[in-house]
Chain A
Amino acid sequence: MTGLLLGRARAQWQLLAVLVAIVSLGATLLGTCALLVTRTADRALEVAASRSTAEDAQVTAYNVTVLGADAAGVAADTRDLLTSSLAPFEVRTDGRASSVLRALSKDSAGYLSAVQDLPASAELATGRWPSAPGEGVVLETTARQLGVTTGSRVRLGPELSRDPAPALTVTIVGVVRPLVGTGWDRDPLAGAGFDPAYRDTSSLRDSRAYGPFLVGWDDLLATGSTLDRLEITAVPDLSAPRLADLDAVTANVRTADRRLARVLGERVRIERVASQLPSVLQSSRHQQQVTNAAVLAVAVLGAVLTATALSLAGRLTTDLRAAESALLSSFGAGRGQLAGVAAIEAAALALLATALAIPASSLLHTALTHLPPLGGAGLASAPTITAAQVLTIAAGAAALAVMLIVSGLRAAPATDERTRRDLLARSGADILLVALAAGGWWQLRAQPTGDAGGPDVVRVLAPALLLIAGAALALRLAPPALALADRLARRANSLPLPLAAFEAARRPQATAAGLLVTLACASATFGIALDATWERSQRDQAALAVGTDLTLALTQPPTAGQGAAVAAATGGTVSPAVDRGVAVGQWLGGAGAAPRLVAVDTDRAGALLRGRLDNGRTWAQVGAKLAAPAGAEGLPLTGTPTLTGTASSGAHLSVTPELLLEDATGLRTTCATAPVTLDARPHRLGACVPPSGVRVIAVAVPVTGDAISWDATATSDIVITLTIPGTTPASAKWTATSAAPSAEQLTDPAVTTGRSGLRMTGTVQLGGPPEAARTLVATAFEDPGPVPVAVSAGFAHDLGVRVGGRLDLTIGLTAVPITVADLVPAVPSAPGGAALLADLDTLSRALAVRGDLGSPVDAWWVGDPVHTELTGLHLGTAVTRAGETDRLTAGPVPAGLPAVLRLLVPAAALLLLAGVLLHVTCDLQARALEVARLRGLGMTRREIRSTLLGQHMVVLLPLWAAGAAVGALSTWIVAPLLVRSETGAAPVPDVVPMWPWPAQAGLLTALLAAALIAVTSVVLVQSRRADAAHLRVAS
């Protein structure tokens, strides 16, 4: 037996080499995919974790109300708990604590605070940092309000709580400015330094609060002060994490809250541990599963291709060995014995292929991780061999070897009976395949999120099923087409090409070869198209999610002149922007998400807004439907304005004027001033010292005073003159209104512009509802009426509105009427949900005429920026579309998909070529005698060549085209369902199937050229060999 095997191996080594090569190729592909979904996937999670921001990684414990005696203990225990929860990572902890209020004077209070790394969250204006007990620094605003400077000593009286700690004195050694984005939002007064009416958890009534008085951390804990808040933040160093540690930390952080409660017990009133880390890691894992499903789908496709190539090889092997088998049978070797020989041979083959595929897949994987996109994502790795990889390869090689035996056994000599049975079986298999593919497709459509625990089976199998079913159906079209060619050939006069057609049409078709060609062509084109579709979708998602090229989310309201700074720093089209949740009438939004209002300067929508629109519309077209009619001219403001007012009938009234200012970039800011008495004397509005280029475009004067009371019956005519330095005679028409609520409490509002400013008049009803606004509003523009908005498809669906519909939008506390001017699939920066897009100018006017002069602006949007590095501005966090695109297409977690697709295409091409070569070689070898006979008939070599070439091309060409068609069809049907967002949900905007023509044309041409070269070279060799020598061989 072994003698036979070895002898045969020596004689047929070329054939065996081809078989080993095919099995090795398949096993290598599987092994590489195994490494991608295990090693690289794990590594990707680690890299993603290492790239997480401190904000995402940090764990913060909040403790509320800690008695002075417990403070140090609670701080230490909290710190220990956080540090141990984050073990084994290096942890940097920070603390921030504030005491309860202490009396400063009769009706004012102050509080102590400590920030552990104070120089990192504030900068010194004057003086130095506190270094000894009893030393402290204050914010600039506090210092100004209290009139303290370095060297001042401030006495903080006993605490206002029930169990007060004694008074103490703080020596001010410095004045500081808070730095943006360093946690001042969690200061009791949010870093404002002063609040006219504040109460904390310990106080019973509002008082004027000043603070913080920033002392040393240990100093604060030692004073015995009751801590209103004690907050410890731990930031793990995730620069080189191991996945197992990340998982352990996730679990620990999840339970940290409960454990902290147990550790601290009664020592604190409330404690809570908050962290984004578990959800950030979880969403990475989720995204990883989405990627893995796609990688596995490609692995299945590769395996199917290999199996097809192998079944072809198996059939050819059996054909070649038919005579030998018959001889062995005639010597009395049983079927079982023959199968045994085949099994031993297959086992040897599988072993050899496994031995080759293990190093090959390791090397291929390494090469792949060094190329983009994996290399760029920081996933480059040295060659490794893992258990999962070896097991996959061994199992894959074994399965393929079994396939080889089975396909060999099946290919017994063809009889009519057998062909009919085969045909029936094939029809059954085709129907089953189509049914399975349809089922898979339906499942994909019905369950777009695929929220299963592991990689979704449907998602993994659907592409392969669809491609096989398509290829099988396409093959069914081949016989009728060839029959047609046969009919045409019968009528022709010549021999070479008609003979080619006869040969192609009448020889029993090599199903395996046809399937391989079609499937390989379909897989390769599908691979390229899926790659392009996926990439395009990620780009679209990034564009819509960011909404523009660069957003700068502000941590504090913008100040006049900021637009110029942002424009200078970015060099792009800059617009102030609003992106916030709103209420529409009574509706607060579905599924826990408020409808989002996005407002920018829609005059420049084309340059600003990004995200795919439908029907070839552009954002400029949408913006044109929303843009404000004309700019508001307003009054230039070059110095400090003064306000003079009188109230008739001797009423004691005062006003708290607010000015709406617009700078050169269109940014509107408000300046609110202290109350001004209407006493006929001029009052300088000191808070409104403008930067240059600012214009006043609206003024609101709410009237208050002792004279106003519920039961008063009198009215008072007020006259208010706002002198604005630098005002030239303005032709601009101003409009005056009385703001809601109870607008009737201020009647006859009027405004006139004069040489020196504005003169506003009105009549105040001193009686009536106390909550009435009694606000006289003068604007440099008219009420814009309902604000035109473009609403998202989600919004239109949820509220059932159409173009022309009218609604009320509640922004903050002000209701603004809107009218639906357009429908868009999604609003930039608010993908998927209910959202509205409005013009910021119009929106701001609508708010202003309703007396709401507060700026709604919370971000800067920049189109086509030249520079994107804005940390130097200290305004907030910048997000760029390019960065987001990069994260979605080339981030460590998603990069596996394009990488594996880049593997599929060459693998499919190689298998196709191997299959064609194998098929043509075997076919021509088997027909050497026939070729010699044709020579005998007087056919020239050239004629024989064209017959052979024509015969193979007439089969190959349609299959090649059918493969491309199946690939295209699959792209349209299934690629959009395979592309997912990073959460695994259906992407927004919808996925557009992409068919990159240049790449596809290149690929198809290359495949065809390679096949052509392969066929031609075999034909050339074969036709040269055909000579008289063959004629002596008996058939």
Chain B
Amino acid sequence: MTLLTVRKITRTFGEKETAVHALQDVSFDVEAGTMVALVGRSGSGKTTLLNVIGGLDRPDTGTVHVDGVEVTALDEDGLSLLRREKVSYVFQTFGLIPVLSAAENVGAPLRLARTPAAERERRVALLLDLVGLGDHAGQRPGELSGGQQQRVAIARALAASPRLLIADEPTGQLDADTGRSVMALLRGVVESEGVTALISTHDPIMMALADRVIRINDGRITE
């Protein structure tokens, strides 16, 4: 079953002489339950593509379908709903809310979904255990290491049981060893939670772990 369909996406920044063609006629499909690595040089258009897929950015032309929903046709509220229910992010800079503890960060998407408190707490505990941070539930992001923060971010991304997990260089800020363990974790959760993951990376190990690798060069897919 195809979870993600990308068709003829173009995205240009700026105009005329200064125009940057970040994405040019990008099309591909991703099967449900696979882990796909998006690979390319810096400036090749990875982030732009992920933003367009997740609805954080709009393409100039082309369509994106996630789980049967045409992302490129959604309005603001539709996009918010999409992010709550189907798509979640893991950012390079972790993206945790500083004033919330690890558990509360993981619980945030569940609160958005208005999950009852008891059920929320159960799921948060489960997810923190899954990412190996069961003992750090009460700590704030400032009190966690980079790797730990990224694990929390992954747990949060999984909290609302999304269909598609988008991660933009999730190991970019981490040392090699930590990065590797985060990658392993991602690989693990894709299996255990049954989500589809689209992960941009420079990391060869990641490519090795992925089910499929999509290469992008100057805004074009070169797979």
Interface residues of B in 73-107 (CB under 8 A from A): 76-77, 80-85, 88-89, 91-93, 95-100, 104
Known interface pairs A493-B114, A1031-B91. Does A930 touch B97 (Cβ–Cβ under 8 Å)? yes
Q: Which residues of B contact A938 (CB under 8 A)?
A: 80-85, 109, 112, 160
Cα distance A937–B112 in the bound complex, in angstroms = 9
Contact between chains at A933 and B80 (CB < 8 Å): no
Contact between chains at B93 and A939 (CB < 8 Å): no
Mark interface residues in B42-77 (1 if CB within 8 Å of A CB, else 0). Answer: 000001000100101100000000000000000011
Cβ of B30 under 8 Å from chain A: no
Contact between chains at B57 and A493 (CB < 8 Å): no
Q: Which residues of A contact B156 (CB under 8 A)?
A: 937
Interface centre among B54, B111, B156 (most CB of A within 10 A): B111
Contact between chains at A941 and B76 (CB < 8 Å): yes
Mark interface residues in A923-942 (1 if CB within 8 Å of B CB, else 0). Answer: 00000001001111111110
Contact between chains at A933 and B91 (CB < 8 Å): yes
Contact between chains at B99 and A1027 (CB < 8 Å): no
Q: Which residues of A contact B76 (CB under 8 A)?
A: 940-941
Cβ of A494 under 8 Å from chain B: yes
Cα distance A503–B56 in the bound complex, in angstroms = 25
Cβ of A262 under 8 Å from chain B: no
Cβ of A330 under 8 Å from chain B: no
Cβ of B117 under 8 Å from chain A: yes
Cβ of A411 under 8 Å from chain B: no
Contact between chains at A495 and B108 (CB < 8 Å): yes
Cβ of A1034 under 8 Å from chain B: yes
B interface bracket (residues with beta carbon within 8 Å of A):
35 or more
Q: Which residues of B contact A940 (CB under 8 A)?
A: 76-77, 80
Cβ of B115 under 8 Å from chain A: yes
Cα distance A1027–B57 in the bound complex, in angstroms = 9
Name the residue on B nearest A1034 (C-beta). B93
A647 to chain B, nearest CB (A): 113
Cα distance A939–B84 in the bound complex, in angstroms = 8
Name the residue on A nearest B91 (C-beta). A1031
Which of B56, B92, B100, B117 is in CB contact (< 8 Å) with A493? B117
Cβ of B14 under 8 Å from chain A: no
Q: Which residues of B contact A930 (CB under 8 A)?
A: 97-98
Cβ of A617 under 8 Å from chain B: no
Interface centre among B77, B91, B117, B156 (most CB of A within 10 A): B91
Which of B51, B114, B116 is in CB contact (< 8 Å) with A1028? B51
Contact between chains at B100 and A502 (CB < 8 Å): yes
Which of A491, A494, A936 is in CB contact (< 8 Å) with B83? A936
Q: Which residues of A contact B77 (CB under 8 A)?
A: 940
Cβ of A498 under 8 Å from chain B: yes
Q: Which residues of A contact B97 (CB under 8 A)?
A: 499, 930, 933-934
Contact between chains at A1035 and B115 (CB < 8 Å): no
Q: Which residues of A contact B92 (CB under 8 A)?
A: 1034
A505 to chain B, nearest CB (A): 8
Contact between chains at B108 and A937 (CB < 8 Å): yes
Name the residue on B nearest A951 (C-beta). B99
Cα distance A498–B114 in the bound complex, in angstroms = 12
Q: Which residues of A contact B51 (CB under 8 A)?
A: 1028, 1031
Cα distance A756–B56 in the bound complex, in angstroms = 118
Q: Which residues of A contact B88 (CB under 8 A)?
A: 937
Q: Which residues of A contact B93 (CB under 8 A)?
A: 1034-1035
Cα distance A941–B78 in the bound complex, in angstroms = 12
Cα distance A937–B99 in the bound complex, in angstroms = 16
Interface residues of A in 499-515 (CB under 8 A from B): 499, 502-503, 506-507
Name the residue on A nearest B120 (C-beta). A493
Cα distance A498–B99 in the bound complex, in angstroms = 12
Q: Which residues of B contact A106 (CB under 8 A)?
A: none
Known interface pairs A494-B114, A940-B76. Does A933 touch B109 (Cβ–Cβ under 8 Å)? no
Cα distance A495–B156 in the bound complex, in angstroms = 14
Q: Which residues of B contact A934 (CB under 8 A)?
A: 97
Interface residues of A in 457-516 (CB under 8 A from B): 491-495, 498-499, 502-503, 506-507
B138 to chain A, nearest CB (A): 12
Contact between chains at B109 and A1031 (CB < 8 Å): no
Contact between chains at A495 and B112 (CB < 8 Å): yes
A929 to chain B, nearest CB (A): 8
Contact between chains at B99 and A507 (CB < 8 Å): yes
Interface residues of A in 1020-1035 (CB under 8 A from B): 1027-1028, 1031-1032, 1034-1035
Cα distance A936–B93 in the bound complex, in angstroms = 13
Name the residue on B nearest A1035 (C-beta). B93
Q: Which residues of B contact A506 (CB under 8 A)?
A: 99
Cα distance A492–B81 in the bound complex, in angstroms = 21
Q: Which residues of A contact B82 (CB under 8 A)?
A: 938
Contact between chains at A503 and B99 (CB < 8 Å): yes
Cα distance A1027–B81 in the bound complex, in angstroms = 16
Interface residues of B in 153-210 (CB under 8 A from A): 156, 160
Contact between chains at A1027 and B56 (CB < 8 Å): yes
Cα distance A943–B80 in the bound complex, in angstroms = 10
A875 to chain B, nearest CB (A): 81
Name the residue on A nearest B168 (C-beta). A1031
Which of A494, A507, A941, A1028 is in CB contact (< 8 Å) with B111? A494
Cα distance A1035–B91 in the bound complex, in angstroms = 11
Cα distance A502–B101 in the bound complex, in angstroms = 10
Contact between chains at A937 and B114 (CB < 8 Å): no
Cα distance A1031–B104 in the bound complex, in angstroms = 21
Cα distance A930–B80 in the bound complex, in angstroms = 16
Cα distance A810–B12 in the bound complex, in angstroms = 108
Name the residue on B nearest A493 (C-beta). B114
Cα distance A506–B99 in the bound complex, in angstroms = 6
B28 to chain A, nearest CB (A): 21
Contact between chains at A502 and B104 (CB < 8 Å): yes
Q: Which residues of A contact B117 (CB under 8 A)?
A: 491-493
Contact between chains at B91 and A936 (CB < 8 Å): yes
Contact between chains at A493 and B115 (CB < 8 Å): yes
Q: Which residues of A contact B114 (CB under 8 A)?
A: 493-494
Q: Which residues of B contact A493 (CB under 8 A)?
A: 111, 114-117, 120
23 A–B contacts from the bound complex (CB under 8 Å): A491-B117, A493-B115, A494-B112, A495-B108, A502-B99, A502-B104, A506-B99, A930-B97, A933-B95, A933-B97, A936-B83, A936-B95, A937-B83, A937-B109, A938-B80, A938-B84, A938-B160, A939-B112, A943-B112, A1027-B56, A1028-B56, A1028-B57, A1031-B56
| 19 additional A-B residue pairs with CB within 8 Å, beyond A495-B111, A937-B109 | A492-B111, A492-B117, A493-B117, A494-B114, A499-B108, A502-B99, A503-B99, A933-B91, A933-B95, A933-B97, A936-B89, A937-B84, A938-B84, A938-B112, A939-B112, A940-B80, A943-B80, A1031-B91, A1031-B95
Closest 8 interchain pairs by CB?
A938-B83, A938-B84, A1028-B56, A495-B111, A940-B80, A506-B99, A933-B95, A1035-B93
